[in-house]
Structure 1
Amino acid sequence: MSGKELSDGFIPAYQWSSAILPVLNEGHALKLHFDGLSMYPLLVGGRDDVLIEAVSGKRLKRGDIVLYIRKDGMHVLHRIHHVEVSGYYMLGDAQTWIEGPIDEDDVRAVVTTIIRKGKSIECSALAYRWISELWLFMRSVRPQIIKIIHWVHRMRKS
């Protein structure tokens, strides 16, 4: 690992994931700080944290947010759009294209809690499930909604 990675406080996922998987499999949850915009607006990289747990013994379903590894080794935190026999089909909340199939073996963890500004949002809560399902349903109009959200944020700052 280079000194830059250490001084920035950043360790790439491919370096830590093999160390945390056994901890998750022992039944522990891990608080994960993430970066990126692919899950905006329901998750904001750099602002929100998530608690992840092992997927073993859990039946993953549409709307669940999971940590998976792409074939190129990239670790991704996205929402399950749908499940087929061939695997999971994923969708970032800021995206309109569906990725998949993702093999079950490549899904490493599931998000159980979102931590936003010190408050916990349980992913199993009915209100959160309803909002995430609505957001999945609105896939085709997401770019326009995100533009409106950005416009509102700019107006509030001025």
Structure 2
Amino acid sequence: MQQGNLERCLRELGCAIIPVTGTSMWPLLQQGRSRVQLAARNGSPLKAGDVVLYRRADGTLVLHRIVLVEGADTCWLCGDHQWKHLEQVHDEQIVAVAQAFFRNGRLVDEHTGWYRLYRFLWTKNLTIRRCCLALLRWSGLEKHSLG
């Protein structure tokens, strides 16, 4: 879906489902296998663990996870496949919030047990994330999954 069409769907319908591109949200989301159900940003409070679509200064739209909420209008974000390079994002940059994911055609949302644990661990401590990613690299699963 083109950027203009996505924003039109969010504006007119309040939601959209988009395919995943890139590897920054692996292992949760994989290019070609995953889709994200987005809801237009409605001003409700965001929290650590939420996955949001935001606009960078150059206009690029990026899907990343909130690691830390700072004050009323600032969040620090990081892709799930990253353990450093947090990006500071202000509330007005956030376009949409992920409501659910489709992995290999299966629905995953905040009520999915394994996802609640994943979200907690992945958000709570970047050192845990770094160790998990190192294990996945060492086991060969990262290379196999990212193709």
What TM-score do you get using the length of structure 1 for normalisation? 0.76
Shift of 1:18: 3.8
Quick one: percent identity of the two aligned structures? 31
Structure-1 separation of matches of 2:90 and 2:101: 25
Max Rg structure: 1
Q: 1:111 aligns with which of 98, 104, 120?
A: 98
AA aligned to 2:117 is W
Counterpart of 1:49 in structure 2 is 35
What TM-score do you get using the length of structure 2 for normalisation? 0.81
- After the TM superposition, which segments of 4 or more aligned residues of structure 1 sit over 4 Å from their partners? none
Structure-1 separation of matches of 2:62 and 2:132: 23
Shift of 1:120: 0.4
Cα offsets for 1:36-86 (capped at 9, x unmatched): 111111222222111111011432111000000111222110001111125
Name which of structure 1's ranges 108-117 and 80-89 shifts more when overlaid on structure 2. 80-89
Matched, 1:99 2:87: yes
In structure 2, the CA distance between the partners of 1:130 and 1:142, relative to structure 1 (3 Å rule), is closer
Number of equivalent positions = 139
The answer to whether the 8 A contact 1:34-1:49 is kept is yes
**Structure 1: any 5+ residue segments left out of the alignment?**
1-10
Matched, 1:67 2:53: yes
SS in structure 2 of the partner of residue 38 of structure 1 = coil
Shift of 1:22: 4.0
The answer to whether the 8 A contact 2:50-2:65 is kept is yes
Structure-2 separation of matches of 1:31 and 1:57: 20
Structure-2 separation of matches of 1:113 and 1:149: 24
Shift of 1:87: 0.8
Indicate the RMSD between aligned Cα atoms, in angstroms: 2.3
Alignment of 1:4-153 (within 5 A): 16-85=2-71, 86-97=73-84, 98-100=86-88, 102-122=89-109, 124-125=110-111, 127=113, 128-150=115-137, 151-153=139-141
**Structure 2: any 5+ residue segments left out of the alignment?**
none
